[in-house]
Amino acid sequence: MKRGSPALIINLHHILYGEELEDLGRAHLVVEDGFIKEIGRSWVGDAHINGGVAVPLPVNAHIHLNDYRAPDHHFGLSLSDYAGRKGLKHSLIQLYKEPLMPSELLNLFLQYSYIVDYQEKYLLCRELAYELGKIHTNYIGLSRPVDWVNDDLEEILKHCSGLGISNPVVIPVFRSSEIARISRNRIVSSHISENRWMEETGGLHYLLSLGIKLKQVVHGVFLEDWEFKILADQGITLVSCPRSNIWFSGKLPDYHKALKYGVRVAIGTDNAGCFHPDIWEEAFILLYYSKIDPLTILKFILINGYYSIGLKPLVIKEGGLAYFMVIDLGIANERSGNIYLSLINRFKWSRINLIIKGKHVFNNATIVV
């Protein structure tokens, strides 16, 4: 094949191909003009980079970015004492307004294609989108009114991508038709069943009974069988935040049941002030606590996050937009007994050698953990 210039040719030990993340094994890949022009099942002699594993870029499907500015004030606090309506974090984010985007976060966020943020301050959505735009990471800001009775939802939506509902049962019924209308063409997401109280107050049933179409429900720790079935039937993604759930709720969602019912599961890192927003840390915890098949966990972070915001995943395939990273797993590049397991098990001790986002190429990207 005649290659245009400047093409980037990469020999790889493994390529996780397409939506199924099929392991192609030893192969090469050619990027040209921001697209994947060629994938071949062998190494070539004229490669610019040799070795490593090509992996699509993850989506962090749920984060609260603001509280990163006040790290680790949550020890000994309950969920409501920390994050509830009168919780400590709201005072802290009022107290610490700067920096909007700490530089070490940009270093970490470089590897994400999308970040989905529950943004308490809707006026910040555009600024955050601008900041993340500098590293070509897409920002999806989901916000909410301070006052569900009086605040103007359309004004919020001028700044943000959609609505992120912190506590569904505080929504007054008289706003329901307006929110239902919004949910037909904007992302609406809600915290659901994060603790037993939230499960028992029936947030999921309440929102659906109001005719509100949900793209995501976040947490789902105590969901019942019939609720998993609803999520599967209505194509609503369950966004799970494992570290947060272990910390605040002492329990993880029943992933095996969710998968049995056909629920799509994505992963978020939740409160950035409590849990460093590294999605691979979530995958690691999930692997050890749930013993879900590693390939399925990788689909949670590399594929399903896109569906949770209504997008087709950016995967590695011929003709597709080049959106991937190359990770050097060292000896595991060649000898891993299960490359999916090695990625989750060893990612944090490995190095991202390359991140490609269309025409933007970042070399020697350092993993910050």
Q: Which residues bind Zn ion (CB under 5 A)?
A: 270
In this complex, which beta carbon is closest to Zn ion, that of residue 16 or of residue 239? 239
In this complex, which beta carbon is closest to Zn ion, that of residue 244 or of residue 345? 244
**Residues with Cβ within 8 Å of residue 293, at least 6 apart in sequence:** 340
Structure tokens at 132: 């993340």
Nearest position to Zn ion, beta carbon: 270
Closest separation between CB of residue 218 and Zn ion, Å?
5
Closest separation between CB of residue 125 and Zn ion, Å?
16
User: Using CB atoms within 10 A of its CB, is residue 121 exposed (0-12), middle (13-18) or buried (19+)?
Assistant: middle
In this complex, which beta carbon is closest to Zn ion, that of residue 91 or of residue 185? 91
In this complex, which beta carbon is closest to Zn ion, that of residue 270 or of residue 278? 270
In this complex, which beta carbon is closest to Zn ion, that of residue 10 or of residue 266? 266
Closest separation between CB of residue 275 and Zn ion, Å?
10
| Amino acid (1-letter code) at residue 131 | E
In this complex, which beta carbon is closest to Zn ion, that of residue 120 or of residue 270? 270
In this complex, which beta carbon is closest to Zn ion, that of residue 182 or of residue 218? 218
Closest separation between CB of residue 19 and Zn ion, Å?
27
Q: Compute how many other C-beta atoms are within 10 angstroms of the C-beta atom of residue 258.
A: 20
In this complex, which beta carbon is closest to Zn ion, that of residue 56 or of residue 58? 58
In this complex, which beta carbon is closest to Zn ion, that of residue 270 or of residue 282? 270
Closest separation between CB of residue 120 and Zn ion, Å?
11
Closest separation between CB of residue 215 and Zn ion, Å?
15
Which pairing describes strands 138-143 and 162-165: parallel, antiparallel, or unpaired?
Answer: parallel
Distances (CA, A) of 202 to 15, 24, 169, 212: 43, 45, 8, 14
Closest separation between CB of residue 191 and Zn ion, Å?
5
Closest separation between CB of residue 129 and Zn ion, Å?
19
Structure tokens at 293: 């098949």
Closest separation between CB of residue 319 and Zn ion, Å?
37
